[in-house]
A = this chain, B = another copy of it.
Amino acid sequence: MEVLLGLLTVEPMSGYDLGQTIRGSVGHFWNESYGQIYPNLKKLEAGGFVKSEKKRQKGKPDRHIYSIAKKGRERLAAWLSVAPQPEIPRNELLLKLFFSAQASPEIAIQHVERMVKSESAILGEFKRIEEQLSKGKQYPDAPYWKMTLRSGQLELKSHLRWGEETLDELRKIAKKQRSPSETKKEKKH
């Protein structure tokens, strides 16, 4: 809900634009689907937080351009001052790793490797965003945007570091299991 208000302070936009902008800016730490965006914009308008203008288009449906109203700015400011409640995370990779003694280390290795790959790609994206932020037209919000970007970068780097470290260990475990050395084994299944 408030993401919409926030982004509309930067520039008036349509619902579709908001979806695109979310993906390209806050997408790495916040997401909203269209099934959420359109109804929420209607609610915000009904409450007087935003107002809209219709723009005719040929072939395509009318574009509804939303802009933030005074009441909307107030609501945003109020929301910003409320302490964010700590998120309850859900990390499927860690959960699977936690129970990986019930499977083979090879599977765990695959999962971690996949994560390293995908997060490396995102780190690359971040570098591009960083350059864009320094070069493009200077918004007054830019310093704050950079802080969130930096957060993502540090977090990704810590994930990658952990990933490499963990892969080393998993490979050791896999090796130990393949070569029946000193420890006695029972065959499973």
Measuring CB to CB, which residues of chain A are less than 8 angstroms from any residue of chain B? 2-3, 6, 9, 25-26, 28-31, 73, 76-77, 79-81, 83-103, 107-108, 110-111, 114-115, 118, 140-141, 143-145, 147-148, 150-151, 154-155, 157-159, 161-162, 165-166, 169-170, 173
Copies in the complex: 2
Query: Once the chains are docked, how many angstroms separate the CA of A156 from the CA of B107?
Result: 26
**CA–CA, A2 and B96, complex, Å:** 9
Residues in B with CB closer than 8 Å to A88 are 31
The answer to whether B148 and A102 have CB atoms under 8 Å apart is no
Cross-chain contact of A151 among B31, B148, B162 (Cβ < 8 A): B162
**Contact present for A29 and B81 (CB under 8 Å):** no
Complex-state Cα separation, A101 to B81, whole angstroms: 12
Given contacts A95-B26, A141-B101, contact A154 B161 (CB under 8 A): yes
Q: How far is the CA of A102 from the CA of B169 in the complex (A)?
A: 46
Q: Given the complex, which residues of B lie within 8 Å of A143, measured CB to CB?
A: 101, 169, 173
Which residues on B sit within 8 Å (CB–CB) of A80? Answer: 96, 99-100, 102-103, 107
Within the complex, the shortest CB–CB distance from A97 to chain B, in Å, comes to 6
Q: Is the CB of A29 within 8 A of B95?
A: yes
Minimum distance in angstroms from A90 CB to a CB of chain B: 6
A3 CA / B99 CA spacing, docked (Å): 9
Given contacts A107-B80, A150-B166, A169-B147, contact A6 B155 (CB under 8 A): no
Q: Are B118 and A86 in contact (CB under 8 A)?
A: yes
CB distance from A151 to the nearest CB of B (A): 5
CA–CA, A119 and B151, complex, Å: 15
When the two chains form their complex, are residues A81 and B94 in contact, meaning their CB atoms are under 8 A apart? no
